[in-house]
């Protein structure tokens, strides 16, 4: 039997935009993660940006910072994150997992070659390094290519021409356009549709999909991202807030996120096979 080949990043049907969700590993608790990832896969969410939790992120707003603190307090680190991913990755049919790791807290203590080697063993689909010093970018890109680790690069609307071209040239998974210079949860003043000229310029030089994040909270913002010409929308703080509310209320985390995915996809062509899973069959997400 031929091996099943999953689609590339954001290989969404034309009637709906690609979708990525951001979460911190360990928030929800790691025992919940396999069921949650299965739900996202069956819902045909395209990508889970899964962060190895780290403290005091300078780019994150209060919702994501609280999430990271909860995960760190539970002892979640790189090894536990990779072990959790390894348990489910091989069985995924649609969802891809992009690991987000902080340079100072996670990558540097391992050493770049050894860190990338660990990712190769687990089989994560892409890597985004937070806080990478500019002087190390060339080494990072070269080593990641040698280890066959696809790279997510980032840029901002106010990035200089050289930065935009570098980000486009070295992205091998997707290019993350941060919609607004600020912290997670903030949006561009004129809405995401104002990014259309920049996305058009990046499209001409980037060989990979373009995903837009920051300030994407629901169906309206996702429609704006799509109208601007991007391939996908990245939902971060709003998804993390769903987890936070479920933890506080003692309700089903997986069911809450499944409902959130259906809600933000309203008007964009359904929600895959999620309807095959009844929320009543799920465990309470407090493991």
pLDDT tens per residue across all 287 residues of the chain: 334 455 678 876 666 789 999 999 999 999 999 999 999 999 999 999 999 999 988 778 899 999 999 999 999 999 999 999 999 998 999 999 999 999 999 999 999 999 998 987 887 899 999 999 999 999 999 999 999 999 999 999 989 999 999 999 999 999 999 986 544 444 555 567 789 999 999 999 999 999 999 989 899 999 999 999 999 999 999 999 999 999 999 999 999 999 999 999 875 444 343 333 323 322 222 22
Catalytic residue among 27, 35, 46, 60: 60
169: helix, strand or coil: helix
Would the CA dihedral through 233, 236, 241, 244 be positive or negative? positive
Tokens at 66, concatenated: 């609280």
User: Distance of alpha carbon 147 from its chain centroid, rounded?
Assistant: 21
Q: How far apart are CA 16 and CA 3, in angstroms?
A: 27
Strand locations in the chain (E): 18-24, 47-51, 96-102, 126-130, 152-155, 174-178, 210-213, 232-235
Q: Is 56 a catalytic residue?
A: no
User: Is there a contact between 159 and 178 (Cβ–Cβ < 8 Å)?
Assistant: no
Helix axes 237-249, 62-73, angle to 10 degrees: 50
Q: Are 87 and 34 in contact (CB under 8 A)?
A: yes
**Residue 101 — φ and ψ, nearest 5°?**
-130, 140
18-281 CATH fold: TIM Barrel (3.20.20)
Q: Is the pTM of this model over 0.85?
A: yes
pLDDT given at position 7? 60
**In contact, 178 and 156? CB cutoff 8 Å:** yes
Are 239 and 261 within 8 A, CB to CB?
A: no
Residues 153, 210 contacting (CB under 8 angstroms) = no
User: Looking at the DSSP assignment, which residues form a beta bridge with residue 19?
Assistant: 233
**Catalytic site residue from 35, 44, 49, 244:** 49
Annotation says 49 is catalytic? yes
User: CB-based burial of residue 64 (10 Å sphere; 0-12 exposed, 13-18 middle, 19+ buried)?
Assistant: buried
List the end-to-end C-alpha distance of the chain, in Å, as a whole number: 37
* Token pair for 221: 């913002």
Return d(Cα 215, Cα 237) in angstroms, integer: 8
What local confidence, expressed as pLDDT, does residue 36 receive? Answer: 97
Q: Are 222 and 233 in contact (CB under 8 A)?
A: yes
């Amino acid at each position: 039997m031929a091996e099943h080949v999953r689609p590339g990043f954001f290989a969404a049907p034309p009637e709906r935009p690609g979708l990525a969700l951001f979460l911190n590993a360990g928030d929800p608790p790691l025992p919940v993660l396999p069921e949650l990832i299965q739900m996202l896969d069956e819902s045909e969410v395209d990508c889970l940006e899964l962060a190895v939790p780290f403290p005091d992120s300078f780019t994150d707003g209060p919702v994501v910072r609280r999430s990271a603190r909860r995960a760190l307090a539970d002892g979640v680190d790189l090894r536990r994150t990779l072990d959790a991913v390894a348990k489910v990755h091989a069985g995924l049919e649609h969802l891809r997992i992009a690991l987000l790791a902080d340079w100072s807290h996670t990558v540097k203590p391992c050493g770049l070659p050894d860190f990338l080697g660990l990712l190769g063993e687990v089989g994560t689909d892409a890597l985004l390094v937070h806080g990478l010093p500019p002087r190390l970018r060339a080494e990072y890109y070269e080593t990641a290519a040698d280890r066959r680790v696809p790279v997510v690069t980032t840029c901002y609307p106010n990035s200089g021409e050289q930065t935009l071209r570098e980000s486009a040239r070295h992205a091998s998974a997707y290019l993350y356009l941060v919609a607004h210079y600020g912290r997670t949860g903030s949006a561009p003043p004129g809405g995401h549709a104002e990014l259309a000229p920049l996305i058009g310029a990046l499209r001409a030089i980037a060989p990979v999909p373009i995903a837009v994040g920051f300030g994407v909270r629901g169906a309206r913002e996702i429609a704006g991202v799509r109208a601007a010409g991007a391939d996908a929308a990245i939902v971060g703080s709003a998804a993390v807030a769903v987890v936070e509310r479920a933890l506080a209320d003692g309700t089903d985390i997986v069911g809450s996120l499944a409902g959130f995915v259906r809600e933000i996809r309203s008007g964009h062509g359904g929600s895959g096979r999620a309807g095959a899973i009844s929320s009543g069959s799920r465990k309470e997400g407090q493991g």
